[in-house]
Homo-oligomer: A and B are copies of this chain.
Amino acid sequence: MLFKIPPMKTLLAKPVVDGMKKNLSSRIANFHQHSGRVPKLAVVLVGDHPASVIYTTKKGHTAVELGMKHETIKLAASASPQEVHEKIKFLNQDPSVDGILIQRPLPSGFSEEEVLYWVSPEKDVDAFHPENTGRLVLGLPCFKPCTPAGVMKLLDHYGINPSGKIACVIGRSSIVGKPMAALLLQANATVIQCHSKTPHLPSVTSQAELLIVAAGKAGLVDASYVREGAIVVDVGIHRTTEGKICGDVVFDSVAKKASALTPVPGSVGPMTIIMLMENTVWAAERREAARAR
Protein backbone atom coordinates (compact mmCIF):
# COMPACT_ATOMS: atom_id res chain seq x y z
CA MET A 1 0.00 0.00 0.00
CA LEU A 2 1.37 3.38 -0.99
CA PHE A 3 -0.40 5.54 1.57
CA LYS A 4 -1.74 5.12 5.03
CA ILE A 5 -5.46 5.57 5.62
CA PRO A 6 -5.91 7.89 8.59
CA PRO A 7 -7.96 6.32 11.38
CA MET A 8 -11.66 7.16 11.52
CA LYS A 9 -12.42 9.88 14.04
CA THR A 10 -15.25 9.30 16.53
CA LEU A 11 -16.95 12.63 17.11
CA LEU A 12 -17.77 12.40 20.81
CA ALA A 13 -19.79 15.15 22.46
CA LYS A 14 -17.98 14.99 25.80
CA PRO A 15 -15.07 17.37 25.14
CA VAL A 16 -17.41 19.84 23.43
CA VAL A 17 -19.97 19.66 26.23
CA ASP A 18 -17.27 20.03 28.89
CA GLY A 19 -15.99 23.20 27.23
CA MET A 20 -19.49 24.60 26.81
CA LYS A 21 -20.38 23.84 30.43
CA LYS A 22 -17.36 25.81 31.61
CA ASN A 23 -18.28 28.71 29.37
CA LEU A 24 -21.95 28.67 30.38
CA SER A 25 -21.15 28.43 34.10
CA SER A 26 -19.05 31.54 33.85
CA ARG A 27 -21.74 33.37 31.82
CA ILE A 28 -24.30 32.39 34.46
CA ALA A 29 -22.05 33.62 37.28
CA ASN A 30 -21.53 36.87 35.40
CA PHE A 31 -25.27 37.17 34.80
CA HIS A 32 -25.92 36.61 38.48
CA GLN A 33 -23.44 39.29 39.43
CA HIS A 34 -25.13 41.84 37.21
CA SER A 35 -28.79 40.96 37.67
CA GLY A 36 -28.91 39.47 41.15
CA ARG A 37 -30.69 36.38 39.87
CA VAL A 38 -29.89 33.25 37.82
CA PRO A 39 -31.44 32.17 34.49
CA LYS A 40 -34.44 29.91 34.82
CA LEU A 41 -35.74 27.20 32.51
CA ALA A 42 -39.37 26.07 32.81
CA VAL A 43 -40.36 22.75 31.25
CA VAL A 44 -44.02 21.91 30.75
CA LEU A 45 -44.67 18.17 30.84
CA VAL A 46 -48.15 16.91 29.98
CA GLY A 47 -48.74 13.28 30.97
CA ASP A 48 -46.06 10.79 31.94
CA HIS A 49 -44.71 9.37 28.68
CA PRO A 50 -41.63 7.47 30.02
CA ALA A 51 -39.09 8.86 27.52
CA SER A 52 -40.43 12.38 28.12
CA VAL A 53 -39.99 11.98 31.86
CA ILE A 54 -36.37 10.87 31.33
CA TYR A 55 -35.58 13.75 28.95
CA THR A 56 -37.25 16.32 31.19
CA THR A 57 -35.33 15.10 34.23
CA LYS A 58 -32.06 15.24 32.29
CA LYS A 59 -32.72 18.82 31.19
CA GLY A 60 -33.51 19.84 34.77
CA HIS A 61 -30.37 18.20 36.14
CA THR A 62 -28.13 19.89 33.59
CA ALA A 63 -29.67 23.30 34.27
CA VAL A 64 -29.12 22.93 38.01
CA GLU A 65 -25.60 21.57 37.53
CA LEU A 66 -24.71 24.74 35.61
CA GLY A 67 -26.11 26.99 38.34
CA MET A 68 -29.47 27.78 36.76
CA LYS A 69 -32.94 27.44 38.17
CA HIS A 70 -35.29 24.91 36.77
CA GLU A 71 -38.91 23.98 37.22
CA THR A 72 -40.89 21.17 35.64
CA ILE A 73 -44.58 21.94 35.51
CA LYS A 74 -46.39 18.61 35.44
CA LEU A 75 -49.90 18.41 34.07
CA ALA A 76 -52.07 15.31 33.85
CA ALA A 77 -52.33 13.54 30.50
CA SER A 78 -55.99 14.50 30.63
CA ALA A 79 -55.23 18.26 30.83
CA SER A 80 -57.10 20.25 28.20
CA PRO A 81 -55.27 22.42 25.63
CA GLN A 82 -56.85 25.43 27.37
CA GLU A 83 -55.33 24.47 30.74
CA VAL A 84 -51.89 23.97 29.23
CA HIS A 85 -52.14 27.22 27.29
CA GLU A 86 -53.15 29.11 30.47
CA LYS A 87 -50.12 27.69 32.27
CA ILE A 88 -47.83 28.81 29.45
CA LYS A 89 -49.39 32.28 29.34
CA PHE A 90 -48.55 32.54 33.03
CA LEU A 91 -44.94 31.49 32.39
CA ASN A 92 -44.66 33.95 29.47
CA GLN A 93 -45.55 36.72 31.95
CA ASP A 94 -43.44 35.45 34.84
CA PRO A 95 -40.35 37.74 34.95
CA SER A 96 -38.27 35.08 36.73
CA VAL A 97 -38.64 32.62 33.81
CA ASP A 98 -36.22 33.02 30.89
CA GLY A 99 -36.80 29.92 28.80
CA ILE A 100 -39.92 27.80 28.35
CA LEU A 101 -40.27 24.52 26.55
CA ILE A 102 -43.20 22.20 26.06
CA GLN A 103 -41.99 18.61 26.15
CA ARG A 104 -43.13 16.67 23.05
CA PRO A 105 -45.05 14.54 22.23
CA LEU A 106 -48.27 16.11 23.50
CA PRO A 107 -51.38 13.99 23.97
CA SER A 108 -53.76 13.94 21.00
CA GLY A 109 -56.31 16.76 21.00
CA PHE A 110 -53.64 19.48 20.80
CA SER A 111 -53.44 21.44 17.54
CA GLU A 112 -49.79 21.21 16.50
CA GLU A 113 -50.03 24.58 14.70
CA GLU A 114 -51.58 26.44 17.63
CA VAL A 115 -49.07 25.07 20.14
CA LEU A 116 -46.19 26.50 18.08
CA TYR A 117 -47.46 29.97 19.00
CA TRP A 118 -47.92 29.47 22.73
CA VAL A 119 -44.41 30.13 24.03
CA SER A 120 -43.58 33.79 23.44
CA PRO A 121 -40.74 34.23 20.91
CA GLU A 122 -38.39 35.77 23.55
CA LYS A 123 -38.61 32.65 25.74
CA ASP A 124 -38.81 30.09 22.95
CA VAL A 125 -35.62 28.14 23.75
CA ASP A 126 -36.72 25.16 21.63
CA ALA A 127 -37.02 27.59 18.68
CA PHE A 128 -40.34 26.22 17.50
CA HIS A 129 -42.23 29.51 17.02
CA PRO A 130 -42.79 30.24 13.29
CA GLU A 131 -41.22 33.65 13.71
CA ASN A 132 -38.07 31.97 15.02
CA THR A 133 -38.07 29.58 12.06
CA GLY A 134 -38.39 32.55 9.71
CA ARG A 135 -35.57 34.45 11.39
CA LEU A 136 -33.35 31.37 11.22
CA VAL A 137 -33.96 30.94 7.49
CA LEU A 138 -33.44 34.66 6.86
CA GLY A 139 -30.18 34.62 8.80
CA LEU A 140 -31.39 37.04 11.50
CA PRO A 141 -30.36 36.70 15.17
CA CYS A 142 -32.61 34.08 16.79
CA PHE A 143 -32.81 30.97 18.92
CA LYS A 144 -31.50 28.02 16.95
CA PRO A 145 -33.21 24.64 17.22
CA CYS A 146 -31.11 22.63 19.69
CA THR A 147 -30.33 19.51 17.66
CA PRO A 148 -29.11 21.13 14.42
CA ALA A 149 -27.35 23.90 16.36
CA GLY A 150 -25.67 21.18 18.46
CA VAL A 151 -24.48 19.43 15.29
CA MET A 152 -22.93 22.70 14.07
CA LYS A 153 -21.11 23.17 17.40
CA LEU A 154 -19.85 19.59 17.27
CA LEU A 155 -18.50 20.04 13.73
CA ASP A 156 -16.90 23.33 14.69
CA HIS A 157 -15.17 21.78 17.71
CA TYR A 158 -13.65 19.09 15.51
CA GLY A 159 -12.45 21.63 12.96
CA ILE A 160 -14.95 20.59 10.30
CA ASN A 161 -15.96 23.62 8.23
CA PRO A 162 -18.99 23.01 5.99
CA SER A 163 -18.04 25.93 3.69
CA GLY A 164 -17.60 24.77 0.11
CA LYS A 165 -18.54 21.18 0.99
CA ILE A 166 -21.34 19.13 -0.53
CA ALA A 167 -23.56 18.45 2.50
CA CYS A 168 -26.52 16.12 2.42
CA VAL A 169 -29.31 16.02 5.00
CA ILE A 170 -31.53 12.94 5.09
CA GLY A 171 -34.82 14.03 6.63
CA ARG A 172 -37.00 17.12 6.42
CA SER A 173 -38.66 17.43 9.82
CA SER A 174 -39.37 20.88 11.22
CA ILE A 175 -37.25 20.13 14.28
CA VAL A 176 -34.13 18.74 12.62
CA GLY A 177 -34.03 18.28 8.85
CA LYS A 178 -35.18 21.72 7.72
CA PRO A 179 -33.28 23.88 10.23
CA MET A 180 -30.18 21.67 9.73
CA ALA A 181 -30.26 22.48 6.00
CA ALA A 182 -30.73 26.18 6.80
CA LEU A 183 -27.70 26.25 9.13
CA LEU A 184 -25.49 24.35 6.68
CA LEU A 185 -26.50 26.73 3.89
CA GLN A 186 -25.62 29.68 6.11
CA ALA A 187 -22.25 28.06 6.69
CA ASN A 188 -21.75 28.10 2.89
CA ALA A 189 -22.24 24.40 2.24
CA THR A 190 -23.97 23.28 -0.96
CA VAL A 191 -26.95 21.52 0.57
CA ILE A 192 -28.84 18.49 -0.73
CA GLN A 193 -32.02 17.69 1.16
CA CYS A 194 -33.26 14.10 0.82
CA HIS A 195 -36.32 12.41 2.27
CA SER A 196 -38.68 9.47 1.99
CA LYS A 197 -39.65 10.50 -1.56
CA THR A 198 -36.05 10.59 -2.83
CA PRO A 199 -35.52 7.81 -5.36
CA HIS A 200 -32.22 5.84 -5.19
CA LEU A 201 -31.23 7.45 -1.91
CA PRO A 202 -27.69 5.95 -1.77
CA SER A 203 -26.81 7.38 -5.20
CA VAL A 204 -27.62 10.86 -3.88
CA THR A 205 -26.17 10.59 -0.37
CA SER A 206 -22.91 9.03 -1.55
CA GLN A 207 -21.95 12.36 -3.15
CA ALA A 208 -21.86 14.07 0.22
CA GLU A 209 -18.64 15.10 1.90
CA LEU A 210 -20.77 15.78 4.96
CA LEU A 211 -23.78 13.55 5.57
CA ILE A 212 -26.32 14.32 8.28
CA VAL A 213 -28.75 11.47 8.90
CA ALA A 214 -32.03 12.50 10.53
CA ALA A 215 -34.37 10.01 8.94
CA GLY A 216 -35.78 8.54 12.13
CA LYS A 217 -35.25 5.00 10.80
CA ALA A 218 -33.03 2.66 12.79
CA GLY A 219 -30.12 1.32 10.75
CA LEU A 220 -31.17 3.00 7.48
CA VAL A 221 -27.68 4.09 6.45
CA ASP A 222 -24.91 1.58 5.79
CA ALA A 223 -21.62 1.99 3.88
CA SER A 224 -23.41 1.96 0.52
CA TYR A 225 -24.89 5.37 1.36
CA VAL A 226 -21.55 6.92 2.21
CA ARG A 227 -18.81 8.51 0.16
CA GLU A 228 -15.26 7.35 0.90
CA GLY A 229 -13.84 9.70 3.54
CA ALA A 230 -17.14 11.44 4.32
CA ILE A 231 -18.01 12.95 7.68
CA VAL A 232 -21.20 11.31 8.95
CA VAL A 233 -23.47 12.65 11.70
CA ASP A 234 -26.18 10.35 13.08
CA VAL A 235 -29.14 12.21 14.58
CA GLY A 236 -31.27 9.08 15.05
CA ILE A 237 -31.93 7.52 18.41
CA HIS A 238 -33.81 4.24 18.80
CA ARG A 239 -34.10 1.46 21.32
CA THR A 240 -33.76 -2.03 19.88
CA THR A 241 -36.00 -4.90 21.05
CA GLU A 242 -33.00 -6.07 23.13
CA GLY A 243 -32.98 -2.70 24.89
CA LYS A 244 -29.85 -1.39 23.14
CA ILE A 245 -29.65 2.23 21.97
CA CYS A 246 -28.83 2.71 18.28
CA GLY A 247 -29.04 5.38 15.58
CA ASP A 248 -30.09 5.71 11.94
CA VAL A 249 -26.57 4.68 10.91
CA VAL A 250 -25.06 1.17 11.02
CA PHE A 251 -21.94 2.25 12.88
CA ASP A 252 -19.60 -0.69 12.10
CA SER A 253 -20.43 -0.63 8.40
CA VAL A 254 -20.08 3.13 7.95
CA ALA A 255 -16.99 3.35 10.19
CA LYS A 256 -15.01 1.48 7.51
CA LYS A 257 -15.69 4.19 4.93
CA ALA A 258 -16.19 7.48 6.80
CA SER A 259 -13.36 9.72 7.96
CA ALA A 260 -15.42 10.82 10.98
CA LEU A 261 -18.62 9.52 12.54
CA THR A 262 -20.80 10.31 15.54
CA PRO A 263 -21.65 7.42 17.88
CA VAL A 264 -25.16 6.85 19.28
CA PRO A 265 -25.42 7.44 22.19
CA GLY A 266 -22.75 9.97 23.18
CA SER A 267 -22.83 12.63 20.52
CA VAL A 268 -25.88 14.40 19.08
CA GLY A 269 -28.03 13.68 22.16
CA PRO A 270 -25.78 15.45 24.69
CA MET A 271 -25.14 18.27 22.19
CA THR A 272 -28.89 18.86 21.99
CA ILE A 273 -29.21 19.24 25.75
CA ILE A 274 -26.26 21.59 26.11
CA MET A 275 -27.59 23.75 23.27
CA LEU A 276 -30.86 24.05 25.18
CA MET A 277 -28.84 25.35 28.12
CA GLU A 278 -27.01 27.83 25.90
CA ASN A 279 -30.33 29.04 24.47
CA THR A 280 -31.66 29.54 27.99
CA VAL A 281 -28.62 31.52 29.09
CA TRP A 282 -28.85 33.63 25.92
CA ALA A 283 -32.56 34.21 26.58
CA ALA A 284 -31.74 35.49 30.07
CA GLU A 285 -28.92 37.71 28.84
CA ARG A 286 -31.11 39.17 26.10
CA ARG A 287 -34.02 39.82 28.43
CA GLU A 288 -31.73 41.51 30.91
CA ALA A 289 -30.11 43.64 28.21
CA ALA A 290 -33.56 44.67 26.93
CA ARG A 291 -34.60 45.63 30.43
CA ALA A 292 -31.45 47.71 30.90
CA ARG A 293 -32.19 49.69 27.70
Contact of A138 among B116, B190, B194, B199 (CB under 8 A): B116
C-beta contact mask, A149-193 vs B, less than 8 Å → 1, else 0? 000000000000001101000001010001001100100101111
Residues of B within 8 Å of A163, CB to CB, are: 197
Contact assessment for A192 and B190 in the assembled complex, using a CB-CB cutoff below 8 Å: yes
Which residue of chain B lies nearest to A190 when distances are taken between CB atoms in the complex? B198
Determine if A129 is an interface residue (Cβ-Cβ < 8 Å): yes
Determine if A135 is an interface residue (Cβ-Cβ < 8 Å): yes
Residues of B within 8 Å of A132, CB to CB, are: 134
Determine if A242 is an interface residue (Cβ-Cβ < 8 Å): no
Residues of B within 8 Å of A198, CB to CB, are: 164, 190
Contact of A164 among B138, B164, B172, B197 (CB under 8 A): B197
In the complex, A137 Cα to B177 Cα: how many Å?
11
C-beta contact mask, A119-160 vs B, less than 8 Å → 1, else 0? 000000000011111111111100000000000000000000
Copies of the protein in its oligomer: 2
Contact assessment for B138 and A204 in the assembled complex, using a CB-CB cutoff below 8 Å: no
In the complex, A93 Cα to B193 Cα: how many Å?
41
A140 to chain B, nearest CB (A): 6
In the complex, A17 Cα to B195 Cα: how many Å?
33
In the complex, A172 Cα to B181 Cα: how many Å?
12
- Contacts A185-B172, A191-B193, A192-B192: A135 and B130 contacting too (C-beta < 8 A)? yes
Determine if A113 is an interface residue (Cβ-Cβ < 8 Å): yes
Q: List 8 A-B contacts (CB under 8 A).
A: A133-B133, A133-B134, A134-B135, A137-B137, A138-B178, A166-B204, A188-B197, A190-B197
